[in-house]
Amino acid sequence: MTRYGWALTALGLMGLVAFGMHAAFSSVLLVEWEVVGAAGAVLVALGITLDRESLLRWAAERGARATAVSSLSLLTALGAVIALNVVAQRYDKRLDLTGSGRFTLSEQTVKVVGDLSEDIEVHAFFTAGSPEEAKFRDLMEGYAPLGSRLRFTFHDPMMEPTAAQQFKVTSAYGTVVLVAAGEGPVEGRKQQRLESNFDEEALTNAIVRLTSGKDHTICVSSGHEELDPDDEQQAAGMGISVLKLEGQNYTFKPVVLLREGGVPSDCEVLIVADPQVDWLAPEREMLAAWIASGGDAIVLLDPGHAQGLATDMARYNIAVGDDFILEQNPNYQLENGDLSHIILDRASFDFHPVTNPLKGGLILRVARSVSILDPEASGLKAQELARTTMNSWAEADYMDAAKVGYQEGRDRLGPVSLAVIVEVEDPSVIPVGSRALSAAPSERAPLPVEAPPAAPTPAPEPGDPALGEVLRGPERAPVAPPTLKAGAKLVVIGDSDFLSNELVDNFSNQDLLPNLLAWMVGEEAQIAIRPTAGGGGTFTLTLVQKLMIGLLSLLVVPGLAIMGALQTWRSRRSR
């Protein structure tokens, strides 16, 4: 039995190590493992007892004491190194070695985070180990030492589906949710979200908005088969877009203009998302009155829908084409998509606070042209936001598949403008009807709600005589003259699919509506931070350069070392 003492000791040690590992890595200490640990201790004690004579003999040998001291020293050194590493991890400092200061946060960020008076939870949803996660971790490490008010938590949406559901995370590429710290459900607390841009500027601005932003009411026009803001399931709904914005500081409210007698006064922005049934004349007048009185609006018009409303955009100096755009440039088409899928990138956008942050571009589907009617028009400052490539065209015969194809003189060759933004400098230039609608619904005169929608008329082009007709508006229904106020912002986009549940999580689509709303309510990026992305430029190699580098790397430099080897071999032989 005595000769098996070492085996018992070894078995006991294995049991102890297994128990130790279980205790270290498991949150619950199971009884079975406690038994393993106890049995291991007993076996070690038994083994040492059985082996005590050989141990004593070893201890009496020369060097045994030195070996023991050496082992103890090594264990002590190992312990000291581990302890040092733990301390270094806790009090880690970092030094940015890059020439561009890529990892150094701006002074604005330092001030914003340093001045925080409330705690903020930052929940970062990234796939563990993804490059996006690594980048955000680097950024987070910069923020962490600035103050203890920010509390970062990383989640892998695949591993923590409950957390992803709780924070309404739908994107697979990363979402960062900032929540005001506090008790109770997350829904009841102030929130800000980052969906595709996770750089310092975006994060710091989200902090600023969370701590200082006021609540905004966004009205969504309904009653004309528009995209449903409450539908998060169907591909054609826009519920996901709304879901991401609700709880930030936006509240969405569906409105039926005819029922309300106009755009309600508590609305800050009116969204008209692809009405499939055309607007009636009084509704168009209500929109005009709203804009002339300083209200902001976002109008999304898909090809073939609400042609009356599309034509009416002329009064705001916007021409909405009765066409749809086809893109032939393969670099701006969706892979396996048809010509009606249009990708817009930075080269497609004009410089504007709304489009500047759209780093990932946009994808649109079946879009119509939207352009400035008269670039010289006074009182309405217009800017085209995005254009397609030179290889695209606006197809006029889109209702007849057999006729689809570029026809000179009939179709418009690219670049074709898709979105126009108008800032009203002089509201008096917007024609608004004169007959008043009654203020209270009970007193309101019967409105022609049953009347058929106005027959679609083609959009006037700049210089078209029809333009005057539109502006005079013979069929314009009268509304109360609005109190004119400059500063209204109107955006018209020839597509609404980018906002739909189906496409909103692609490219930077999810950022366009938040950018538009933030710009309209005056909460666009309040802090501008210079980009500190990787530098160094890019290069491509010519064939000669490739050959030269190949020769240098694979022949010249190793050849010198081979010559050294040969020289050594020869000199050793000659000795």
Partner 1 sequence: MNSELTATFAIARRELESYFATATGWLTLTGFLMITGFFFVLTLNDYSNYVMQASVSPYGGEGATVDEALVPGLFGNWSVVLLLVIPGISMRIFSEDLRQRTFELLLSSPVSSGAIVAGKFLGALGFVGVMFAATLYQPAVLYALAKPDPGVLWGSYAAMAALATCCLGVGMLASAYTANQMVAFILSFSSLLLLYLLGWVGEMAGGGPLAAVGEASMLSHLDQVGKGLLHTEDVVYFLGFIGLCLFATQQRVESFRWR
How far apart (Å, rounded) are the C-alpha atoms in residues 319 and 172?
38
User: Based on CB atoms, which residue is closest to partner 1, 172 or 347?
Assistant: 347
DSSP structural state of residue 104 = P
Main-chain dihedrals φ then ψ at residue 136, nearest 5 degrees: -70, -30
DSSP 437-450: PPSSGGGPPPP-TT
User: Based on CB atoms, which residue is closest to partner 1, 67 or 378?
Assistant: 67
Buried b (16+ CB within 10 A) or exposed e, 380-396: bebbbbbbbbebbbbbb
User: Residue 294, class by beta-carbon neighbours within 10 Å (0-12 exposed, 13-18 middle, 19+ buried)?
Assistant: middle
Q: Report if residue 95 touches partner 1, rule: CB under 8 A.
A: yes
User: Based on CB atoms, which residue is closest to partner 1, 351 or 446?
Assistant: 351
How many positions of this chain bind partner 1 (CB under 8 A)?
70
Main-chain dihedrals φ then ψ at residue 302, nearest 5 degrees: -85, 160
Binding segment toward partner 1, per CB under 8 A, in 69-77, 246-254, 412-420, 427-435? 69-77
User: Based on CB atoms, which residue is closest to partner 1, 104 or 251?
Assistant: 104
* Minimum distance from residue 360 beta carbon to partner 1 (Å): 7
- Helix, strand, or coil (residue 363): strand
Binding segment toward partner 1, per CB under 8 A, in 11-19, 79-87, 246-254, 431-439? 79-87
How far apart (Å, rounded) are the C-alpha atoms in residues 286 and 156?
47
Contact present, 180 and 118 (Cβ < 8 Å): yes
User: Based on CB atoms, which residue is closest to partner 1, 323 or 505?
Assistant: 505
DSSP structural state of residue 2 = G
Task: Give the strand pairing for 296-300 and 489-493.
Answer: parallel
User: Based on CB atoms, which residue is closest to partner 1, 4 or 569?
Assistant: 569
Name residues contacting partner 1, limited to 278-317 (CB under 8 A): none
Name residues contacting partner 1, limited to 340-359 (CB under 8 A): 343, 345-347, 359
DSSP structural state of residue 231 = -
> What character string, x for contact with partner 1 (CB under 8 A) and - otherwise, covers 140-169?
--------------x-x--x----------
Instruction: Kindly tell me which residue out of 3, 25, 117, 465 binds partner 1, with binding defined by CB under 8 A.
Output: 25
> What character string, x for contact with partner 1 (CB under 8 A) and - otherwise, covers 522-561?
-----------xxxxxxxxx---xx--xx-xxx--xx-xx
Q: Report if residue 31 touches partner 1, rule: CB under 8 A.
A: no
User: Based on CB atoms, which residue is closest to partner 1, 156 or 423?
Assistant: 156
Contact present, 435 and 445 (Cβ < 8 Å): no
Q: Report if residue 360 touches partner 1, rule: CB under 8 A.
A: yes
Q: Report if residue 138 touches partner 1, rule: CB under 8 A.
A: yes
Collect all residues with Cβ–Cβ distance below 8 Å to 316 and sequence separation of at least 6.
Answer: 291, 380, 422, 424, 430, 490, 492
- Contact residues toward partner 1 (CB under 8 A) are 24-25, 62-63, 66-67, 70, 73-74, 77-78, 81, 84-85, 88-89, 91-100, 102-103, 128-129, 134, 138, 154, 156, 159, 331-332, 343, 345-347, 359-361, 533-541, 545-546, 549-550, 552-554, 557-558, 560-562, 564-565, 568-569, 572
